[in-house]
Amino acid sequence: MLKLQFKLWLIFYWLVATAAMPASNLYQQYCANCHGKNRLGLMGPALLPENLGRLSPEQAKQVIRNGRNASQMPAFPQLSTAQIKQLIDDIYTPLTPPPKWEKEQMLATQWLYPNPDTLASQPIFKTQDYLNLFVVVELADHYISLLDGNNFKVITRIKTRPVLHGGPKYSSDGRYVYLSSRNGWISKIDLYNLKTVAEIRAGINTRNIALSADDHYILVGNYFPHNLVILDANDLSPIKIIPVRNDFGQSSRVSAVYTAPPRHSFIVALKDLPEIWEIYYQAPKEPIYQGLVHDYQYQEGIAQTEKFAIRKIHLTHYLDDFFFDQNYQHILGSARSSQTQQPSPVQVVNLFVGRTIAEIPIQGLPHLGSGISWDYNNTRVLATPNLKTGLISIIDQSNWKIIKQLPTLGPGFFLRSHPNSPYAWTDVFFGPNKDAIHIIDKQSLAIVKTLKPIPNKTSAHVEFTKDGRYALLSIWEEDGAIIVYDSHTLEEVTRLPMKKPSGKYNIYLKTRYLEGTSH
């Protein structure tokens, strides 16, 4: 233990020493709480020139003055023009020497549970249906709660790293859950034994993680350094570090990483390059390509030649987030324009042929990472909330045309449903109507009810129980709650106090990749 503490102290000292912050007291007063004292990122991204490629200094001035839509970046109207210029000078000044985070530094932070032989091979608690449990992320005090979806009782709370980001990822049997924090910590928790069993710091400023469908690998997408890190899911040891660069040497942050189970691959969106990458952890199977023999042979060849082979797909626009169709044949993604900060069209990318096959003009900023799909009138539709505009956009996946633009009380963040539910639930996360939740009938495509669970308190992120009978809603506040509704009658069943429950994730839905939940 003393040796581990000494290693961690050395790493902390190294970070401070090599990232001596040239920023002013002004930065410490207004920026450090979210972006880190050393500009290396916390809840907000790292503020370094290499992380600001799509934001010019002039645009950054407007962001500081007016805030940024669809983000937690507030406005600072109290700052003078000279003060804003000082902050701009600070954040666009490179750190000297530039901070690094390589395999050696990662290994020095790695921690493993010391007595693995003492861990039980079955849950140490009783429950009616283990797969109907939820992990609830409570941001206010940095805990997760293990919630029993059979009786809505909290089994235990487990301490986590601060500033968790992105949804938890479960092993296929639901025993292990993997968490990532904005400051690069990856944690593995054994839910059978209610203990953290492994940790490593895989980056300085991390976006999110994905778990391979075979449970063997964790992919970490970093904002800083600009890389991808592949970890062994067993003990979180780093297997491979992949610099994120295009063919001309330009580097990029990682926007998002997800697993595509039937393709035996990870899909990666890049923040600063108009590309997506597919990284294979197994040779793809022929049915994925549905008779495209040439394409199949090519993909199989690179997958067999090199482990974690990368297929790069060039796009017309950046992707900040994206959505898989239910068969993992297509992704739909969108992004802000680098120059105007207006959204680019939604791109439909066919993963078989590796190119954009359609563009869909949608005003505002569709949040496709929270999109869902369902069957409607002999076709399949996709619905997405909008981070800038009070609209739900509903798209026919047979022709990629907009069927309906459904007005809401304001911009929303999450949209959720369940195969056994007739309704989709969406929040109004931003603006004066943040306490509202709209209930959408999936066949009439109309809002049939609007709930306001607690006036003036933010309502967000619905998740369903395994069978879809109940819908669980977060009151996203320091003194928040989980409110349980009957998903058919829409009546409240119970509510549980929670500390800013940012999201709740059902083991069954997340390990079966059911429609209506995030993947």
The pLDDT tens digits of the residues spanning 182-235 come to 889 999 999 999 999 999 999 999 999 999 999 999 999 999 999 999 999 999
**What is the reported pLDDT for 344?**
67
**What is the reported pLDDT for 298?**
41
Name which CATH class applies to 2-91: mainly alpha
Q: Where are the beta strands (DSSP E) in 181-297?
A: 185-190, 195-201, 205-211, 217-224, 227-232, 238-243, 254-260, 265-270, 275-280
**What is the reported pLDDT for 129?**
98
Instruction: Please name the amino acid found at residue 297.
Output: Q
CA proximity to 511, closest of 122, 147, 173: 173
Q: Within 10 Å of residue 419's Cβ, how many Cβ atoms?
A: 13
Q: CATH 1.10.760.10 in the chain, residues?
A: 2-91
Q: CATH 2.130.10.10 in the chain, residues?
A: 102-251
> What pTM was estimated for this model as a whole?
0.86
Q: pLDDT below 70 — which residues of the chain?
A: 1-23, 53, 69-71, 283-306, 336-344
Q: Within 10 Å of residue 128's Cβ, how many Cβ atoms?
A: 9
| Cα–Cα distance measured from residue 20 to residue 8, given in angstroms and rounded to the nearest whole number | 18
For residue 208, with 0-12 CB atoms within 10 Å meaning exposed, 13-18 middle and 19 or more buried, which class applies?
Answer: buried
Q: Over the range 445-458, which residues count as b (16 or more CB within 10 Å of their CB) and which as e?
A: bebeeebebeeeeb
**What is the reported pLDDT for 84?**
84
149 and 276 Cβ atoms separated by less than 8 Å: no
Q: Over the range 161-172, which residues count as b (16 or more CB within 10 Å of their CB) and which as e?
A: bebbbbbbbbbe
Residue 462 sits at the vertex; the CA angle it makes with 460 and 467, to the nearest 5 degrees, is: 175
Name which CATH class applies to 102-251: mainly beta
**What is the reported pLDDT for 397?**
96
| Cα–Cα distance measured from residue 516 to residue 501, given in angstroms and rounded to the nearest whole number | 20
Helix H or strand E segment including 179: strand 176-180
Q: How far is CA 47 from the centre of its chain?
A: 20
463 and 416 Cβ atoms separated by less than 8 Å: yes
Q: Within 10 Å of residue 428's Cβ, how many Cβ atoms?
A: 25
- The tally of CA atoms less than 13 A away on the side-chain side of residue 44 is 19
| Cα–Cα distance measured from residue 235 to residue 218, given in angstroms and rounded to the nearest whole number | 10
| Cα–Cα distance measured from residue 310 to residue 301, given in angstroms and rounded to the nearest whole number | 12
**What is the reported pLDDT for 17?**
39
